[in-house]
Amino acid sequence: MSSKSFRGRLAPSPTGSQHLGNARTYLIAWLSARSRGGEIVLRIEDIDSPRVKPWATEQLFDDLRWLGLDWDGPILVQTQRLALYEQALEKLKAGELVYPCACTRGDIERAASAPHLDHEGPVYPGTCAPRQAADSNRFMHRPFAWRMRTEKRTMTWNDSFLGETSLQFDEIGGDFVVWKSAGMPAYQLAVVVDDANQGITEVVRGDDLVPSTPRQLWLYESLGLAPPGFVHVPLVVGPDGRRLAKRHGDARLSTFRAAGVGAEDVIGLLAWSCGWQESARAISARELIPRFTLDSIPRRPFVLEPDLLRQLSH
């Protein structure tokens, strides 16, 4: 691929403060683009309205600038792009690829029994699948979602970090929601429309999103869009192996910044965790460009031991 056509993205959700785990993923995405002379764009994924915090967007701009992770072109904001997502939904309706679904979470849990991956919820039992798109007219004032038909497919992709990866829809909840009953697009649809519309060629994100990838690949196919390459990298976890949370100590970038920790100390620790240097010594993101490789990143999650956090805060 020529360097001009390479385009990555940073896609933070302003649902809270960005922490060391987010920074590690952004650093990998940024280096992957910059080491190839490619572009990287910034998109604010703010459609998850109940969880979005008004202060979090400004804070994440400060976090990224502080880390020395720059971006190209205008910043896209998902809530300003609802018309595009609606167009995609109309296309799916026209192809009968989605159906209106009035099932509540409780309905689905009661009807489902098939095995599923952790955190993905029960497999949708197909209660509303016999419906056609036009049946939505009959819902009147009852809230309903639009659900994507998946037909028990298996989706396979060649992940640049994980290698060839296959998942069946039965393992990840079956037919999935693309438009929420609250009248907003679901993450799965918005991210596909945006990544395609922005010409993204590589998506780097945490491996907690692996179960989303088959859904997104199926949306690309259904909408006649070309999918990007995917790179799912391990998360930063606490000593208990769970994803970073308050009980593991304060790993927010804004806290480090306020405490006078150097951005290069944070980058140094992350660079060491990715195998790009022998120790956690301070280094800038830019200095890491020639050292970038996915190959040295350990396959397991990076455990943020309390000692590492303490050393950083000194």
CB-based burial, 117-136: b 16+ in 10 Å, e otherwise: eeeebbbbbbbbeebebeeb
Q: How far is the CB of 127 from ligand GLU (least distance, A)?
A: 28
Scanning 6-14, 117-125, 247-255, 288-296 for contacts with ligand GLU by CB under 6 A, the matching segment is 6-14
Scanning 10-18, 64-72, 86-94, 251-259 for contacts with ligand GLU by CB under 6 A, the matching segment is 10-18
Q: Does 46 bind ligand GLU (CB under 6 A)?
A: no
Give the span between the Cα atoms of 126 and 140, in whole angstroms: 21
Which residues, 255 to 314, sit near ligand GLU by CB under 6 A?
A: none
Measured from the CB atom, the residue of 45 and 265 that comes closer to ligand GLU is 45
Q: Does 27 bind ligand GLU (CB under 6 A)?
A: no
Measured from the CB atom, the residue of 125 and 206 that comes closer to ligand GLU is 206
Q: Does 202 bind ligand GLU (CB under 6 A)?
A: no
> In degrees rounded to 5, what are phi and psi of residue 301?
-60, 155
Q: Do 105 and 122 form a contact (C-beta atoms < 8 A)?
A: no
Enter the tokens of residue 186: 């679901």
Scanning 8-16, 54-62, 87-95, 166-174 for contacts with ligand GLU by CB under 6 A, the matching segment is 8-16
Task: Report the Cα–Cα distance between both ends of the chain, in Å, rounded.
Answer: 43
Among 52, 167, 191, 193, contact with ligand GLU (rule: CB under 6 A)? 191
Return the residue matching tokens 């989706």: 155
| 64 HSE (CA, 13 A, CB side) | 25
Binding site for ligand GLU (CB under 6 A): 11-13, 45, 191, 203, 205, 209
